[in-house]
Every structure is written in C-alpha cells, then in structure tokens.
Chains A and B, each alone.
Chain A
Amino acid sequence: DAGVIQSPRHEVTEMGQEVTLRCKPISGHNSLFWYRQTMMRGLELLIYFNNNVPIDDSGMPEDRFSAKMPNASFSTLKIQPSEPRDSAVYFCASRRGGLVYEQYFGPGTRLTVT
C-alpha cells in the first residue's frame, strides 16, 4: 500500500509569494492532520479533518494559513503571503479511525522562505 504522499518535497520561495503544499492520505483513512516541525516548537498540529470536515484549526498560526480537503484523497495547505518565519518542515498524516488510533505520516515538505 502506498503511504501518505506529500508534494513538493522541497520548496524555496521568496517572501510574499503564495505557497501551496499538497497531501494525499492513505486510501480508506478518514482523518487527516497537518503538522509543522521547527527547532523551537517541535511538532505542532496546525489543523485536522475528519471525513473531509475541518474539526480543529486552533493551531493555524494566523490568517495567512488556510487548509482545504475537497475530497477524501486530497488536501492542501496554503500560505499567502509567505514570510521567512514560516520556514519549517510541514508534515501531513492520516488515520484510519474506528479503533485504529495511530497516525501515519508523509515524508514532509521542507519549506524555505527567503
């Protein structure tokens, strides 16, 4: 089975530009999570979806960040406009649900904003 797929793996952009990160969860999983990893704050949850519906977006830093899940097999995290402090590794994870609680992570997108 394919794992969680994220694209791009690396993104370098200039301050002020729009950035879109993409995620394809594992087929059959009904929850999707976006995380950000930085040296200072470790792994922090940004937002998560159950059955394509956003459940908790309290971790989204500010209005420059937005996330969508138009269907069960695709999600995007958008930053507009991007700032240097957004530089981090962004992970997507999915979970089957029911009695299966483990989250399965993608390889991450390393974002550098100059």
Chain B
Amino acid sequence: DQQVKQNSPSLSVQEGRISILNCDYTNSMFDYFLWYKKYPAEGPTFLISISSIKDKNEDGRFTVFLNKSAKHLSLHIVPSQPGDSAVYFCAASEDFGNEKLTFGTGTRLTIIP
C-alpha cells in the first residue's frame, strides 16, 4: 500500500521555465512533508519542508504548496536550472516530523538547456 505517491516517473522542462512536481498521500495522519533531491551515486539531500499548519513554504527558487483537503502537495522550481536535473522524492511523516518518513517513488526531472 503506497501511502505517498508520485505519479509522474519523469518530467522534462526547458531551462528558465517553471518545474512543477506533484505528490499525493493517503494517510490523513501525515502532518509534515519534505522534498528530497537525489543525484546519481549520492544519498538524497534535503531540499524543503512544510508543516500541515501552513499551505506554502518558500526558499529561494523552491516553493512547496500543501493542499490538505486534497491530500496533495507540489514543489515549484522557478526558474529551472540545469543543475536541478535529479530525482526528486516526496516524503511524509506523522507527529510533525518526529516519526519515520514514508517516501514516494520519485520523479526524475530533466532540465533541457
């Protein structure tokens, strides 16, 4: 039972445009969400997070939006840069991050120069 779903295995975006990565979850107990970025042969790197008490969190070019009623979150990257090409994982946790993370299967983002 996949509690965190990333339905798009891959996404290609032109450099300079906006990249939008999507994530859906089924467990209503999740209240903390994170995005990780992974390059080949490296471990995932933390990117940005959001608590369920917010609906938006922004950090530079990265913004995460949370729609609790739809159990959906998205990561916006603008403008997209070639270095953003990586696999992006969505993760969720209960107890505001104090519990274990459940990861989605990832979306491979390719930025086209």
Q: Which residues of A contact B (CB under 8 A)?
A: 4, 33, 35, 42-45, 48, 56, 91, 93, 101-108
Contact = CB atoms under 8 A, between A and B. Distances in A.
The 3 tightest CB contacts between A and B, nearest first, are: A101-B97, A105-B43, A42-B105
Contacts, number: 46
A107 B41 CA distance: 7
Given A91-B43, A103-B46, A107-B41, A42 B106 contact: yes
Given A42-B106, A101-B32, A102-B49, A33 B100 contact: yes
Most chain B beta-carbon contacts within 10 A, residue among A42, A48, A91, A101: A101
Interface in B94-113: 96-98, 100-106
A42 B45 contact: no
A108 B46 CA distance: 15
Contact of A56 (B98, B100, B103, B106): B100
Contacts of B101: 33, 45, 103
Contacts of A43: 44, 89, 103, 106
Interface in B58-109: 89, 93, 96-98, 100-106
A101 B103 contact: no
Interface residues of B, number: 22
A58 to B, nearest CB: 9
A105 B32 CA distance: 18
29 contacts: A42-B89, A42-B104, A42-B105, A42-B106, A43-B44, A43-B89, A43-B103, A43-B106, A45-B100, A56-B100, A91-B43, A91-B44, A101-B32, A101-B34, A101-B93, A101-B98, A102-B34, A102-B46, A102-B49, A103-B101, A104-B46, A105-B36, A105-B43, A106-B43, A107-B41, A107-B42, A108-B41, A108-B42, A108-B43
